[in-house]
Amino acid sequence: MPLLSAKNITAIGTIDYDSEDSRISEREFASLQRAVPILSGDLLLTVVGSLGRRAIYRGQRVAFQRSVAYVRPDPNLASGAFLFHAMGSPRFQTQLLRLSNATAQAGVYLSALASTSVPLPTLPEQRRIAEILDTLDDAIRATGQVIAKLERLRQGLLHDLLTRGIDETGEVRDPNRRTDEFAESASGRIPRTWVLSRLGPLVSILCGGAFSSRYFDPDNGIPLVRIRDIGRTVTEVKYCGPFEERYVLRDQDILIGMDGDFLVTRWGGGRALLNQRVCKLEPCTAGLSRDYLFAVLQPEIDAIHRTTPETTVRHLSTKRIEAIELRLPPRPEQDAIAEVIASVDGRIRGERDEHTKLCMLRQGLADDLLTGRVRVNVAGGATP
């Protein structure tokens, strides 16, 4: 039987486990259940390490280590679904942090956990609040699943396009029916009209400059794109000091974070400055489409990330970027491939925007409902 720990309680309130998790025998499982029984409807709360993640136990045949506390609601006083949401609130999470023993691995004793508190409306109101927040959580999870599905679709589609390409009719080539259109290469079978080329001769790479923090300003000046701003269109600071024009970014410039996860993105926040630890790639030949480069670059950078030794912070060098071997179709075919991938990327962005909106709505509504600023009509609906 699975023996789970705090790591198996997810941030979205689910229990996640697979065949890789620890196992115990049926006899050990039965012994644990006799000693510390867990019942369907009990709340699970992580109290060691990553504090405050929670889930509702639904009767799965699993056991938990001591890093997970069992919280059993009194049905005469509290709804388990309501307590699930209340324990996820900033107010409750702050209580846990204050109670943690602040050793090498933060933890909360059960006796201390019993001293925490939550606002407690009537049971009918608790149930209605839980229904509203559950509905939003379901929508957030569903959107997350759509995003994951689209990302898998993009990955599979890009693989097909980079091994088979798109013919003159706009269809993906079939290597089994049109064998004469393919040839063997150092990176496998590719269309005959394609070439392999190192990225170095095809692009210019500019690493960002060092800008003095004494000229940083949150409101005035030109936005400064630091590594923490990768993937965003709004930066945390602006720069008011002197700078070289070569560090100026414009919309659609391709950027790579040189530390951490090596993320590839396109800048979309207008005129800005390129800070150190971020580099810009610019095609320097008409034979390479900027859109095609962006469409295919992240998987290549991910491959470098996987082979980079783990240190305190992983670092990406320009030499490794230049050494990337790129499959290069004729320019019209690059544009066709980029258009297909851009269409999927647009759908992913739309779903991510929706996911962000739902999360913000949920956060604001939970804060209002769980503090009583907005009261609910138990017959349905929320009323100020």
pLDDT digits (tens, 9 = 90+) for 58-115: 999 999 999 999 999 999 999 999 999 999 999 999 999 888 865 556 789 888 899 9
Asked if the structure places residue 316 within a domain, the reply is yes
Asked if the structure places residue 87 within a domain, the reply is no
Residue closest to 14 by CA, chosen among 60, 71, 67: 60
Predicted TM-score (pTM) of the model is 0.83
Maximum Cα interatomic distance, the chain, rounded to a whole number of Å: 75
**Whether the predicted pLDDT of 383 surpasses 70:** no
Q: What is the CA radius of gyration of the chain?
A: 27
Listing DSSP states for 7-48 in one string gives GGB-TTS-B---TTS-B--HHHHHHHHHHS---TT-EEEE-B
pLDDT band at 218 (very low <50, low <70, confident <90, very high): confident
Domain containing 283 — which CATH number?
Answer: 3.90.220.20
For residues 160 and 37, state if they share a domain.
Answer: no
Beta bridge partners of 23: 2
pLDDT band at 25 (very low <50, low <70, confident <90, very high): very high
Residue closest to 333 by CA, chosen among 283, 287, 271, 264: 287
For residues 134 and 237, state if they share a domain.
Answer: no
For residues 111 and 54, state if they share a domain.
Answer: yes
Average pLDDT, the chain: 92
User: Which among 328, 353, 371 is the end of a domain?
Assistant: 328
User: Which among 280, 313, 328 is the end of a domain?
Assistant: 328
Say which DSSP state 173 is in: P
- The 10s digit of each residue's pLDDT in 238-268 is 999 999 999 999 999 999 999 989 999 999 9
Of 128-137, 172-181, 266-275, which gets the smallest average pLDDT?
Answer: 172-181
For residues 64 and 24, state if they share a domain.
Answer: yes
**pLDDT score at 258:** 94
For residues 286 and 166, state if they share a domain.
Answer: no
- The 10s digit of each residue's pLDDT in 109-127 is 888 899 999 999 999 999 9
Size of the chain, expressed as the number of residues it contains: 384
- Mean pLDDT to the nearest integer, 138-156: 96
**pLDDT score at 382:** 52
Half-sphere exposure of 283 (CA within 13 A, CB side): 15
| Total structural domains within the chain | 3
Give, rounded to a whole angstrom, the gap between the first and last alpha carbons of the chain. 48
For residues 22 and 39, state if they share a domain.
Answer: yes
- Of residues 105 and 224, more confidence is placed in 224
Asked if the structure places residue 334 within a domain, the reply is yes
pLDDT band at 384 (very low <50, low <70, confident <90, very high): very low
Asked if the structure places residue 97 within a domain, the reply is no
For residues 237 and 221, state if they share a domain.
Answer: yes
| Structural domain that includes position 209 | 195-328
**pLDDT score at 381:** 52
For residues 19 and 36, state if they share a domain.
Answer: yes
